[in-house]
Structure 1
Amino acid sequence: MFGDELVRHDGLGDDCVAPCCAVCQAPYSPTTCLFKCGDCGQFLQCKACCLTRHELTPLHVIKEWNGHFWAETSLEVLGHGGFPCVFPDQQVYKMTVIDAPIIHQIRLLRNAWYPAMVTDPATCAIFKTLEAFRLYNVVGNMNVNDFVNAMEQVTDATASTGMKWLPDRYKQVQRMTRQYAFLKRIKRAGRFHDAAGVDATELRECAVRCWTCPQDGRNLPPDWRNVDPAFRFLYMLLLAVDANFKLKNRIRANEIDDPPLGPGWSYWVEPQCYKRHLKSYVAEKDMSTCIAFAALLQKDTRMTTGLCASGVGGCVCARHECVRPNGIRDLRKGERYVSCRLVLDAS
């Protein structure tokens, strides 16, 4: 019975005897095509009723009955949010819309979608798709390449074999998802409500601070400085600093200009200030009295030639492992104390 239900949707189902539009009862003929929408339901629609019904839903997947089987088609309706464009162009451009898990190619220019470029965009993604990838990336550690490949397979399984062409939108999706994640971060920080504008954002203002660590004026009693010395440990901030030397970055001759979004606004240190800080301590000699501190003892023997970053270091609260504001930075030459000093001061 389940198999019969799966097969009946490949044909006309209960309408195989006298197929007609379920809305206006227009009968099927070679000149009067019938359509069905998998998002609206399995009922049949004529062309006029289908276009009228989908004025506000241009991304629904439409199939046309060609007399033998259902063939995929598209809704090419020009408009803005489902309504006619007030300044239509003489030339109609085709737009690639990424609506997970489908990649559409339609002729709609504005419908609350995020463009890949601000000048003559040819690709956009709906907010639902960008939000879905943001959660897949954070929760499931999915990368952009796997996300795009999966959508291509859902759109048309023959695309990977070369039988059907689909536009490659890997770079565009990578750019849009990065920008969207940044916009969500500054939105949640309340920066869009500042009368001075987003550019007035100060360092560390978009970072989420540990909600349990002691913070003066937020979760500490007014007289915490006058507490008995035996209980001062209750209001002590404990920090931990560690590094990952596998996150190296080599110096490349063809390095592209990739400026950061909101430098220093969250967890990474502001790069220009950090570089000036390192230049001030070029000849500093680190000293350690701990014989077990191998990372500091080997900082001069580690292979750092040709590296613009020998690793990544971070500062977290030791109790709850939350990253401190401006608590992450690149390591220029091993785990030197000078690389940690600016981060500890910022925290």
Structure 2
Amino acid sequence: EFLDALLRYDGRGDSLLVSSCPSCECPGISGTYRCIKCFDHQMVCQDCCLQRHENLPLHHINVWNGAFFEHMNLAAMGLRVYLGHTNCPMKKEPSLLTIIHTNGIHRVVIIFCGCGAAIHPQHQLLRRGWYPATIHQPSTCVTFIVLNHFHLQTLQSKLSAMHFVTAIERETDNMGLVSVKDRYISFLQMIHEWRHLMMLKRAGHGHDGSGVKGTRAGELAILCPACPHPGINMPSDWESCPPSDFFLHRLHIAADTNFHMKNRFKPGVHPDPGLGTGWAYFVENKEYKEFLLGYVSEKDISTCSGLTALDLANTRKSMGLHVTGVGASVCAHQGCIRPLGLGDLQKGKQYSNMDFIIFSSLRSCTLRSVLLSYDIFCQWMKKQQARHAKLPPMLHLNPNTKLTGVIPKFHLPAHKQQCHTKYSLNLRPGSGCTDGEGIERDWANINPAALSTKEMGEGSRHDTIDDLFGDWNYRKVMGLGKSLLHLIPCTTS
């Protein structure tokens, strides 16, 4: 019965029982056109079909030729899409536009407004929810619906743009009988811009008097509401609390490296500057690179950890790579990436890279106490004060802030015995049940995107990873209430 229903749905249905168009009921005019996207799926005449689709230009139409259904373009049927204001007395000449939508790639005839009140063509398209691929004389657009759909899909499942565009091309023609022009490169550019615009929009910069140019370093990052923020979620007299209560106002962060997030070296490729590098989670690129120039001969960190062999195995395969991984500084409790707490690695866990990343994430910290969880803290802290003095002045830790450290609980057993008592979270007052391994969950979330970002240009990669971690922080914030409610029994038992 279900199979019969499917076959009937694909066929002409009730149109066999009527001799005229069921919409206009004009005698002698039968219904031969149907829309496969409209809910009623009714077969009507051409005029009625066009009338129904005046504001639905991206639907697929089939026409019965007496033997089978053929695909028919609404533009070929005579549909024209008018842009600009209603009843414009001075319309421009019709032009053909390619629109990428969720149900395929469409060719639409549009007419721009041409009167004195006309706005720029790109704005006429944007006001209809169509994002142009170019500013001047746009010939290709993608709908906001598609951009939002892909954006959410790639945030959740790390879907690649190539697979997404290929699926849309198959929606257009799944038989390979129609030549569909490749829109992959155009789509990459548009989704890159869309990610950037969404970050600006959600950070409130559409209503900021300083505009986009007034964006400050790290300002687009989503902050962890559970971390201590003076003037926001801390008592006004927190600075005068007794030393025994310092842990209540302590910032607990975790640092680690990820060697899955590589980036391939591509000689001869045009520069690919980021649209907002340094505005969210990645450190400011220019300052970071200038700092690292003084440490090109630095050797990899030697560590007492038994996990060193695994790290070396990950870093040996660096031939032909521009970036061997990323280092990060995150909130140790919730796992939120810290503003300006992400940076590229060029060779293993070098001190210089991680020094810059860790202290960049603390550049605005005014708290008295910071606890750092790092799997090689026992080695990293050696000569740390001397290295700290060589950092750019803007990264120098507040002189009133005391930085101490621990080793995450899973990594600690692989260290020497002397580390077990000195850097154990179990023996650190005020640490509660924190395991210090939360950053590993950040890596598990981002790693499925590694194959896509490995082939990207530097700027596109930075903006994409910023966007992915922005969604990670957003979901952490949205789930904080449920998470804390779930953990209450653990704290009261």
TM-score bracket, normalised by the shorter chain, equals 0.7 to 0.9
Of 32-41 and 186-195, the range deviating more from structure 2: 32-41
Give unmatched runs, 5+ long, in structure 1: none
Does the 8 Å contact 2:300/2:348 carry over to 1? no
| In 1: Cα distance, 2:39 partner to 2:28 partner | 20
Aligned to 2:82: 79
Of 18-27 and 203-212, the range deviating more from structure 2: 18-27
Aligned to 1:122: 139
Aligned to 2:63: 64
Pick closer, same or farther for the CA change 1:194–1:305 going to 2, 3 Å: same
Does the 8 Å contact 1:33/1:64 carry over to 2? no
Q: What is the TM-score normalised by the length of structure 1?
A: 0.87
Of 202-211 and 139-148, the range deviating more from structure 2: 139-148
Q: Deviations over 1:158-188 (max 9, x none)?
A: 02xxx22112111112221221111111100
Q: Alignment RMSD, CA only?
A: 2.8
Aligned to 1:279: 293
Pick closer, same or farther for the CA change 1:269–1:84 going to 2, 3 Å: farther
- Structure with greater helix share of residues: 2
Pick closer, same or farther for the CA change 1:67–1:19 going to 2, 3 Å: farther
Aligned to 1:318: 332
| In 1: Cα distance, 2:133 partner to 2:147 partner | 12
Does the 8 Å contact 1:21/1:46 carry over to 2? yes
Pick closer, same or farther for the CA change 1:86–1:325 going to 2, 3 Å: farther
The one-letter code sitting in structure 2 at the alignment partner of 1:144 is A
Of 183-192 and 228-237, the range deviating more from structure 2: 228-237
Aligned to 1:103: 105
Does the 8 Å contact 2:300/2:347 carry over to 1? no
Deviation at 1:99, TM superposition (A): 1.1
Deviation at 1:318, TM superposition (A): 1.5
Aligned to 2:9: 9
| In 1: Cα distance, 2:41 partner to 2:318 partner | 63
Alignment partner of 2:276 out of 262, 269, 273: 262
The one-letter code sitting in structure 2 at the alignment partner of 1:66 is N
Q: Deviations over 1:306-327 (max 9, x none)?
A: 6432321111112221111111
Q: Deviations over 1:115-138 (max 9, x none)?
A: 122222222111111111111111
Q: Secondary structure at the match of 2:82?
A: coil
Counterparts of 1:105-184 in structure 2, within 5 Å, are 105-108=107-110, 110=125, 111-159=128-176, 163-184=177-198
Counting matched residue pairs gives 338
| In 2: Cα distance, 1:11 partner to 1:285 partner | 71
The one-letter code sitting in structure 1 at the alignment partner of 2:14 is D
The one-letter code sitting in structure 1 at the alignment partner of 2:97 is M
Alignment of 1:335 with 2:349, yes or no, is yes
| In 1: Cα distance, 2:239 partner to 2:132 partner | 53
Q: Deviations over 1:71-103 (max 9, x none)?
A: 22122124217967766444x443221111322
Of 334-343 and 216-225, the range deviating more from structure 2: 334-343
Q: Secondary structure at the match of 1:108?
A: strand
Pick closer, same or farther for the CA change 1:84–1:312 going to 2, 3 Å: farther
- Identical-pair percentage: 37
Pick closer, same or farther for the CA change 1:306–1:13 going to 2, 3 Å: closer
Does the 8 Å contact 1:248/1:311 carry over to 2? yes
Does the 8 Å contact 1:214/1:235 carry over to 2? yes
Q: What is the TM-score normalised by the length of structure 2?
A: 0.63
Does the 8 Å contact 1:238/1:319 carry over to 2? yes
Alignment of 1:291 with 2:309, yes or no, is no
Q: Deviations over 1:312-347 (max 9, x none)?
A: 111111222111111111113332222122222222
Aligned to 1:245: 259
Of 148-157 and 302-311, the range deviating more from structure 2: 302-311
Give unmatched runs, 5+ long, in structure 2: 112-124, 362-493
The one-letter code sitting in structure 1 at the alignment partner of 2:103 is P
Q: Which has the higher contact order (CA 8 A, sep 6+)?
A: 2
Aligned to 1:22: 22
